[in-house]
A and B are shown apart, each in its own frame.
Chain A
Amino acid sequence: MIASDLLDVPVHDDAGAQLGWVVDLRFVLDGAPDAYLARARLHGLVVSPRTRTSFMGFERSSVRHPWPVAPILRWWHRGAFLVHWPDVARVPHPDEGAGPGDDAAVVLRAGYTAYEPGL
């Protein structure tokens, strides 16, 4: 699996309701020590309910400038949330979604928890 298999993919809950799209993948360097850095563990998916992608991550940072770019982008991405990787029940196969009518989506487990996406 590669990161592009997850990015921009729709996200559904266990009942089939669309929650948004995966706009980024969050990693934490807390895995087993490697040669120089710790392994980068996939911590979760950043999901935006309104847009398929994110621009500069304003919705995840405390940056307020340049005005009005930052406030507009923050408003545009309102409602974005982080869902932890263990709450992901299903990831689409890379070949899914290639044709018209294909419905590839990341499906979350029942009772998943949404977190603030801020860094």
Chain B
Amino acid sequence: MSKVVYIETSRLRKSRYNPRMVHDPDRHRILVESIRRNGVMEPLLVYQVDDGYEVLDGSRRLAAAVEAGLDTVPCIVVQGEEAPRISLAIHFSQDDLTESELVLYVERLVAEEVFQSVEEVCRFLGVSKSWFYTLRRAARLGPLDSGAPATTLAMVEKTRVEPEKKRRIVEALDNYPLPRPMLREALREIEEKPMEEPEHVLERFYWASPRRSGEDAVTASGVYEYVLRRLGGVVEFLARNGVETLWRVEIPAQDLMVVRLLWQRL
């Protein structure tokens, strides 16, 4: 039976054999709050190094304990030589590690000659080789020059559609760049209408978003084409169907709130 000892947080640091690279800030806050209330309930797994201890399992608990202002935390000390292997066994059963983290960790252990080959890692874990290669395919980075910014990609990723459709959305966004609020609407529609092609939805939203057509004019198209143009002291607002003007209003420029309301109604 392993003995639990209390070790000062100042002597503990995260192990270099911890595959975790990114964490969820919300879950971190929950953990800090829980530790502030109840203390660290589950001991950390540590091993001794020259000047202190490295934490094999529990680096998030350690970070949260430091933030909560604890001086000591409960730990179980294990043998240092086996650290990379134990870490592999522990962390591969955790669900919230991303594919890239797992793949990078396996490749790193092979590069550091802890294991001879990827096959040996798979034998150690008791899984087939194809499991690892499937994981690696999922983790492979996309092309460096994907035009969309990471925040947009994150929005697409959060959408509840199949991966194939997500890829098509990202590709279509190169042709139809949308401002963030419009993209959010478009993604919601794609989610709600799975039968519709995502490219068509994005195209429709692209044409419906207001575009500057001249120095003083903005247009958007839906069923009709709408034009908002500034003429001296008034703002002209008209709807067109082809060349035929369906209606036209002139609004004093000081009543811009009205224009905005009208524009939002469309």
The judgment on whether A and B are partners is no
Chain A interface residues toward B at CB < 8 A: none
Chain B interface residues toward A at CB < 8 A: none
